[in-house]
Amino acid sequence: MSVRKLKPVTPGQRFRVVNGFDAITTDKPEKSLLAPLKKSGGRNSQGKMTIRQRGGGHKRRYRVIDFKRDKQGVSAVVESIQYDPNRTGFIALLKYADGEKRYIIAQNGLEVGQELNSGSNVAPEIGNALPISEIPLGTIISCIELRPGQGAVMARSAGTFAQLMAKDGKFVTVKMPSGETRLILSTCMATIGAISNSDHQLLVSGKAGRSRWLGRRPRTRPVAMNPVDHPMGGGEGRASGGHPRSRNGIPAKGYRTRTRTKKTNKYILERRKK
């Protein structure tokens, strides 16, 4: 992975840092794995705006990703590494021995021509998916299930990974990307390796227009609003808004919003670092 700093030939490119896309091998997606993607503009099914600062953006098509890796016992070859506009990490196109093609989230170090497998009794090599109970301790993993058969829900964004810390009975202890340590059923699947495009955090957009291309609209600072519009609004002159909070009054920056009586609290051994 690499990033490129552009020459400042325009004001928008003066501070811009772009991805080198060294790992990308093709710019044409697999047509059979594309699906339409409709924009909501932050509106729900009733047409009411439930999320602010959303709208516009470039038209996209969804890449159907195999999060379950349930095609077991059939080996696959990596045909290409591709860019996906719907996520931060890159994706890999697999071609199975029976001719079927599927997309998966690409791990760091995955190469074209590499053979991948999923299921029990599979070697713990980069890109292979297997039950956590069969993964050696200390291994870097990603695309983790929380319920068997659910499909990957944890550690899916660019550069993220978790680490397998311990095994005890039907549970394993995993240190998550946030720093949280939690128990996960040992029958859940996980993929070996960290997610690709680890340099994503180094990118700099360079101008406001790039945010518009991504579907993000301008955001007004709460302290610039009136008291009727936001709890942090009002005041004389450049008075700041006191304690940071959301529009409906819920404090931010350190305030815990997780329910104390949530049933899954017993699986969290150590909370994420503040």
DSSP string covering 49-108: B-SSSB------EEE-B--S---TT--EEEEEEE--TTSSS-EEEEEETTS-EEEEEPBT
pLDDT of residue 89: 97
pLDDT of residue 274: 65
Confidence of residue 47 (pLDDT cuts 50, 70, 90): very high
| CATH annotation of 3-201 | 2.40.50.140
pLDDT average, residue stretch 197-205 = 95
pLDDT of residue 152: 97
Q: What is the pLDDT of residues 112-153, one digit of tens each?
A: 999 999 999 999 999 999 999 999 999 999 999 999 999 999
- 48, pLDDT greater than 80: yes
Q: Using CB atoms within 10 Å of the CB of residue 187, give its burial: 0 to 12 exposed, 13 to 18 middle, 19+ buried.
A: middle
Measure the N-to-C terminal CA separation of the chain; round to a whole number of Å. 29
pLDDT of residue 272: 87
Confidence of residue 1 (pLDDT cuts 50, 70, 90): low
In whole numbers, what is the pLDDT of the chain averaged over residues?
A: 95
- DSSP bridge partners of 78: 94
pLDDT of residue 241: 77
